[in-house]
Copies of this chain bind each other. A is one copy, B any other.
């Protein structure tokens, strides 16, 4: 290791570990630190730089996580072979409101992802560590194909008290992502079933049904959600809906429409509603509306849920609740599919729910996302007074009608040139939208920090000024 030419600046805005990280990353990329070279120990380096060992630890962790260093057990840290580091990501500079570099995103209103800093890392680490337990003789076995009974019981209990879902653990099938659950349902139903999907709606639905050679038809919405007349016209016998918070429009389906759809389902024995309750945990005003499944007395509703929004999409845990008569079919035809969630993760999640951590986390997140939502709504009212907001009473995204006469592509491109990513709604249409529809944008707010939101909205304001093409 060469001499270390670094003085940590305690008065800098940049945390010490970040300074250390930046320094070594540069040294490794430039080749000053050679591959396989041993790094100084945490003790040595902290003594040399007059910082804590924790600072060095954090920097080394980050360098390991990004593939610049390799940690060898009981030996120390070594410079990695950079041939293996394909994604060299630059740390975004800290200056705000300066012209961004071409194509760089500073603020991403993505509707995927969650607030990173609020994830209960230490509890999750503790539960996982305890779960990897040599005394648990079932830990290495494939386990119940529908998912571990303990986890299914925890989910059933949670669904009952928080979403009004009526079910036993037996009716729950744990899987990985909506796409895997829908594939199971397509195999469960007859090959010639027509599926009705919301238009606009979740973009993957269409892809999943097409890829599985199933017939799916777009069904029009109004301001209360899926239209029963359009559903009838579509000839669908299975309708996929998002009543808690329609994606992407944000409509919360009122009880009257729920009853209309349940009545539709009851008119013929082969009709079903697939209720995707993807972000129902986050509701900010009005009384919570229980799940459609909870209103269903005849076994017409299949309930889909997931931990993607409530915990993290990287956990890949979702589940469905089957009505009892479909459960019998499932056991007969599809029991050979093994639950894709690793046993350890199922155990961790089960304890996370059972010991009350999930409830506490949800309450914390609901408050945080409420604050984020209020911040973004206030920032839009203040900076974009002519714009209209829709669908913000629930969930982790809202819709914005900018009302400056620009079309969707112009709005998105101008925002991108300021380093801000927003999304158009057109991509969620499976059939062309009605004409005259003013362009609508989708803004997710889960991933942005509260203190970033107003800056991001100000950048959008600058981007969308009619004379704002100056740079």
B121 touches A141 (CB 8 A): no
A314 touches B344 (CB 8 A): yes
Among A96-139, those with CB < 8 Å from B are 112-114, 116-117, 119, 121, 123-126, 128-130, 132-139
Q: Encode A164-202 as 1/0 by CB contact (under 8 A) with B.
A: 000000000001110110010001000100000000000
A340 touches B340 (CB 8 A): yes
State which size class the interface on A falls in: 35 or more
Residues of B within 8 A of A312 (CB): 139-140, 343
Among residues of B, the one whose C-beta sits closest to the C-beta of A203 is B336
A61 touches B135 (CB 8 A): yes
Our pick among B114, B339, B355 for the contact of A73 (Cβ within 8 Å) is: B355
A376 contacts the other chain (CB 8 A):
no
Residues of B within 8 A of A73 (CB): 123, 126, 355
Our pick among B121, B135, B176, B179 for the contact of A58 (Cβ within 8 Å) is: B135
Q: How far is the CA of A135 from the CA of B212 in the complex (A)?
A: 39
B336 touches A316 (CB 8 A): no
A470 contacts the other chain (CB 8 A):
no
Q: Nearest-CB distance from A11 to chain B (Å)?
A: 22
Among residues of B, the one whose C-beta sits closest to the C-beta of A334 is B211
Q: How far is the CA of A251 from the CA of B84 in the complex (A)?
A: 38
B135 touches A65 (CB 8 A): yes
A149 contacts the other chain (CB 8 A):
yes
A61 touches B133 (CB 8 A): yes
Q: How far is the CA of A124 from the CA of B126 in the complex (A)?
A: 14
Whether A62 touches B135, Cβ cut-off 8 Å, given contacts A73-B126, A149-B86, A354-B70, is: yes
Among residues of B, the one whose C-beta sits closest to the C-beta of A62 is B135
A132 touches B128 (CB 8 A): yes
Among residues of B, the one whose C-beta sits closest to the C-beta of A176 is B340
Q: Encode A304-334 as 1/0 by CB contact (under 8 A) with B.
A: 0000100011111100000000000000011
Q: Encode A210-225 as 1/0 by CB contact (under 8 A) with B.
A: 0111000000000000
A341 contacts the other chain (CB 8 A):
yes
A294 contacts the other chain (CB 8 A):
no
Q: How far is the CA of A339 from the CA of B317 in the complex (A)?
A: 12
Most B CB contacts (10 A, CB to CB) among A117, A312, A338 go to: A338
Most B CB contacts (10 A, CB to CB) among A191, A317, A337 go to: A337
Our pick among B65, B133, B191, B342 for the contact of A345 (Cβ within 8 Å) is: B342
Residues of B within 8 A of A382 (CB): none
Our pick among B123, B187, B340 for the contact of A180 (Cβ within 8 Å) is: B340
A207 contacts the other chain (CB 8 A):
yes
Q: How far is the CA of A343 from the CA of B245 in the complex (A)?
A: 27
A424 contacts the other chain (CB 8 A):
no
Among residues of B, the one whose C-beta sits closest to the C-beta of A58 is B135
A153 contacts the other chain (CB 8 A):
yes
Q: Nearest-CB distance from A225 to chain B (Å)?
A: 24
Among residues of B, the one whose C-beta sits closest to the C-beta of A136 is B65
Residues of B within 8 A of A266 (CB): none
Q: How far is the CA of A313 from the CA of B71 in the complex (A)?
A: 27
A143 contacts the other chain (CB 8 A):
yes
Q: Nearest-CB distance from A261 to chain B (Å)?
A: 27
Our pick among B113, B140, B351 for the contact of A119 (Cβ within 8 Å) is: B140
- List the 9 closest pairs (A to B, CB-CB), nearest first: A176-B340, A314-B343, A140-B312, A65-B136, A142-B313, A125-B132, A340-B340, A62-B135, A121-B134
Given known contacts A141-B313, A142-B313, A187-B211, what 16 new A-B pairs fall within 8 Å (CB)? A61-B130, A65-B136, A67-B150, A113-B140, A116-B137, A125-B129, A128-B344, A140-B313, A140-B314, A143-B314, A177-B338, A204-B336, A208-B336, A213-B213, A316-B339, A340-B341
What residues make up the interface of A, taking CB atoms closer than 8 Å to B? 17, 58, 61-62, 64-65, 67, 70-73, 84, 86-87, 112-114, 116-117, 119, 121, 123-126, 128-130, 132-143, 149-150, 153, 175-177, 179-180, 183, 187, 191, 204, 207-208, 211-213, 308, 312-317, 333-334, 336-345, 347, 351, 354-355
